């Protein structure tokens, strides 16, 4: 459909031509300024005559990159001093295993709140490695909402309570977090970390694969209360023990240096935008644009999530028939929209409106949805 789809975006003086409206669920859009800076520095980083990828991870130049990324994350998320910031590999999925390995000891039980496929996968790894308990679940209502906080059952033998703060596939999100006195709260924040301010001290551990809101795939960020690392869990392979990363500033072995560098650029960009309060406000406006179309469509577009649990990161919806859904997706693709198909497990449509998805991109989708409805 030609020229109309080309979106000129100017970021901090850099004009970038975006041929597509990227709504991918992950890996997902990165800020155009970040990509431009990575490109400009690719062949000669910081006058080293080398790319970041070619630097020794034991040298001062890389160490600066590594520590600055940690420092920026601490600043942006207001992470208290008694929490460690770790960089790992293996994605969020490896955290599903590392959590029970490190914390399920002494005949205790891992408590999982089920709110979607990712929490089911976390539970499955806990089952492999120890005893588990489901403290609450919205499976029977097809994961259309987050359980009420007072519905979550926690027992004395629970070593932790695990939640998934944003359910990327179903499009639901926790808008407040529980506070338990007997067990630390551990959270998979892969798809909403950095999207808003977080009360870090309500959590024992937070983890996130980087490829949604933080940077490229290949880096996993873990934020953990240091006292949780003093447990005596034994017989954990060195690379699967949080303590190893803590004791070695996440450089026991070679860290994913280029990914951490891009993460640092993303964090700098978030800081330049005004920090998480500003970003949260914009994210709300972006998602709201699309929810307003859904709510105003007389049932033509049907949101998957109940209003109280709607995600500001992943907007999920279907059309009245599968044929119309497919027609919508095909015409959207032709109009330059990418990544609007729902997850293969649930079908329908999904627009992921992460931090790096510009407001103008969401406005373009709103306009497309309105036009498609009108012509149908």
Ligand X SMILES: *Cc1c(COP(=O)(O)O)cnc(C)c1O
Interface residues with ligand X (CB under 6 A) are 26, 91-93, 118, 164, 168, 188, 190-191, 209, 212
Cα angle value 150/123/164 (rounded, 5°)? 55
Nearer to ligand X, 27 or 275 (CB): 27
Is 196 among the catalytic positions?
no
Q: Tell me if residue 56 falls in helix, strand or coil.
A: coil
Q: From the CB of 222, what's the least distance to ligand X, in Å?
A: 12
Bridging pattern class, strands 166-167 and 172-173:
antiparallel
Q: From the CB of 293, what's the least distance to ligand X, in Å?
A: 24
Is 174 among the catalytic positions?
no
Nearer to ligand X, 205 or 293 (CB): 205
d(CA 59, CA 81): 26
Which of 174, 192, 196, 212 is labelled catalytic?
A: 212
**Phi/psi at 373 (5° precision):** -60, -45
d(CA 258, CA 51): 9
Q: From the CB of 212, what's the least distance to ligand X, in Å?
A: 6
Is 212 among the catalytic positions?
yes
Q: From the CB of 286, what's the least distance to ligand X, in Å?
A: 18
Nearer to ligand X, 145 or 212 (CB): 212
**Phi/psi at 195 (5° precision):** -90, -15
Going by C-alpha positions, the residue among 117, 101, 158 that lies closest to residue 135 is: 158
Secondary-structure percent of the chain, ordered helix, strand, coil, rounded to 5: 40, 20, 40
Which of 158, 188, 192, 269 is labelled catalytic?
A: 188
Non-local (6+) Cβ contacts of 303 within 8 A are 171, 291, 294, 295, 310, 315, 316, 317
Nearer to ligand X, 132 or 173 (CB): 173
Q: From the CB of 57, what's the least distance to ligand X, in Å?
A: 22
Asked if 312 contacts 332 with a C-beta cutoff of 8 angstroms, the reply is no
Asked if 7 contacts 324 with a C-beta cutoff of 8 angstroms, the reply is no
CA 134 distance to own-chain centroid: 23
Nearer to ligand X, 24 or 102 (CB): 24
d(CA 164, CA 168): 9
Q: Tell me if residue 284 falls in helix, strand or coil.
A: helix
Nearer to ligand X, 190 or 353 (CB): 190
Going by C-alpha positions, the residue among 159, 120, 124, 156 that lies closest to residue 138 is: 120
Three-class SS string for 101-139? HHHCCCCCEEEEEECCHHHHHHHHHHHHHCEEEEEEECH
Q: From the CB of 190, what's the least distance to ligand X, in Å?
A: 4
Q: From the CB of 96, what's the least distance to ligand X, in Å?
A: 8
Active site (catalytic) residues: 118, 188, 212
């Amino acid at each position: 459909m030609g020229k109309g789809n080309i979106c000129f975006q100017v970021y901090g003086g850099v004009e970038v031509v975006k041929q597509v409206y990227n709504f991918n669920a992950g890996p997902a859009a990165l800020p155009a300024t970040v990509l431009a800076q990575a490109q400009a520095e690719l062949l000669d980083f910081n006058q080293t005559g080398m790319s970041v990828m070619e630097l020794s991870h034991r040298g001062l130049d890389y160490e600066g990159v590594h520590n600055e990324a940690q420092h920026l994350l601490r600043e942006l998320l207001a992470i208290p001093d008694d929490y460690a910031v770790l960089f790992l590999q293996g994605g969020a999925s490896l955290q599903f295993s590392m959590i029970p390995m490190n914390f399920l000891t002494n005949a205790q039980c891992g408590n999982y709140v089920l709110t979607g496929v990712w929490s089911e996968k976390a539970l499955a790894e806990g089952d492999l490695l120890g005893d588990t308990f489901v403290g609450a679940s919205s499976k029977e209502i097809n994961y259309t909402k987050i359980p009420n906080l007072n519905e979550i059952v926690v027992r004395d033998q629970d070593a932790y309570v695990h939640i998934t703060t944003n359910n990327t596939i179903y499009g639901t999100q926790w808008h407040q977090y529980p506070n338990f006195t007997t067990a630390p709260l551990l959270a998979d924040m892969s798809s909403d970390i950095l999207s808003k301010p977080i009360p870090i001290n309500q959590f024992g551990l937070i983890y996130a694969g980087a490829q949604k809101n933080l940077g490229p795939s290949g880096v996993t960020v873990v934020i953990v209360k240091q006292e949780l690392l003093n447990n005596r869990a034994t017989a954990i392979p060195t690379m699967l023990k949080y303590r190893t990363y803590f004791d070695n500033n996440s450089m026991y072995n070679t860290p994913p240096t280029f990914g951490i560098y891009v993460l640092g650029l993303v964090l700098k960009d978030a800081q330049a935008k005004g920090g998480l309060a500003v970003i949260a406000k914009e994210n709300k406006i972006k998602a709201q644009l699309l929810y307003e179309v859904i709510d105003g469509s007389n049932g033509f577009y049907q949101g998957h999530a109940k209003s109280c649990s709607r995600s500001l990161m992943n907007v999920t919806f279907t059309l009245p028939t599968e044929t119309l859904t497919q027609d919508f997706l095909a015409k959207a693709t032709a109009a330059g929209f990418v990544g609007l198909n729902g997850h293969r497990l649930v079908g329908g449509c999904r627009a992921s409106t992460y931090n790096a998805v510009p407001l103008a991109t969401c406005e373009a989708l709103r306009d497309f949805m309105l036009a498609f409805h009108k012509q149908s």
